[in-house]
Amino acid sequence: GAVVSQHPSRVICKSGTSVKIECRSLDFQATTMFWYRQFPKQSLMLMATSNEGSKATYEQGVEKDKFLINHASLTLSTLTVTSAHPEDSSFYICSARDPGMVWSPLHFGNGTRLTVT
Amino acid sequence: SQQGEEDPQALSIQEGENATMNCSYKTSINNLQWYRQNSGRGLVHLILIRSNEREKHSGRLRVTLDTSKKSSSLLITASRAADTASYFCALDKLIFGTGTRLQVFP
């Protein structure tokens, strides 16, 4: 089945630094990837839709300059949390659909737990 | 909010028992999906039910959909300890429900 790989799985960084999270589709080309944020015991909140070769589409309330998304190739999207603060600590998850299928479920990465100290 | 609302929020049962969780929503949908999330991991797709379907089965999973009531249910029969996870419904526009945390005790 289609696999989405997310890296790193855990990262701890100091306040004010930037952190980059990678999301790769391993056996299909993903023109679109999705980034979510999840707080403990809560649901996933869609942050943005990453589009290969064009600007990402951000959901209302998500700061574009804070959460930089780059989708430079058909298999890689990155989310950079800039000038991280403790309130950015969360679980970030990416997903993608396989465009080669008539209908594809969302394939998720295993998530990145970010802790900002 | 277009988010699906799930109940119960948490459910604890013994192995072998059935687990039922419900999802209610407010918008019109083309399909509704159920996903499972193990603690600290990504989500895994379980089953999709289209708006013109009323019931669907996949192994020990049974999903129903009532579009008139805007609700869906997921039934896990003969639960196992390995079924312990959070379960989310998802509407066709990438909107996830609030989730049900299922704990199955051996």
For A13-52, the pLDDT digits (tens) are 999 999 999 999 998 899 899 999 999 888 899 999 998 8
Residues B79-93 as b or e (16 or more Cβ within 10 Å = b) = beeebbbbbbbbbee
The predicted structure's pLDDT at residue B68: 95
CA distance B38 to B58: 19
Interface contact A43-B88, CB threshold 8 A: yes
- Give the pLDDT band (50/70/90) at residue A61: very high
Q: How many CA atoms lie within 13 A of B2 on its CB side?
A: 12
Name the residue type at position A35.
W
Does the CB of B5 have a partner CB in chain A at under 8 Å? Answer: no
- Give the pLDDT band (50/70/90) at residue A85: very high
**Which chain A residues contact residue B35 at CB under 8 A?**
106
CA distance B100 to B106: 19
Does the CB of A40 have a partner CB in chain B at under 8 Å? Answer: no
A86 backbone dihedrals φ, ψ, rounded to 5°: -50, -35
Question: Residue A115 has what DSSP assignment?
Answer: E
Q: How many residues does chain B have?
A: 106
CA distance B37 to B21: 14
Q: What average pLDDT does this structure show over A73-87?
A: 95
Question: Residue B68 has what DSSP assignment?
Answer: T
Q: Considering chain A, what is the average pLDDT of its residues?
A: 92
Interface contact B43-A6, CB threshold 8 A: no
CA distance A73 to B16: 47
Strands A112-116 and A10-13: parallel
Name the residue type at position A47.
M
Higher pLDDT, B95 or B87: B87
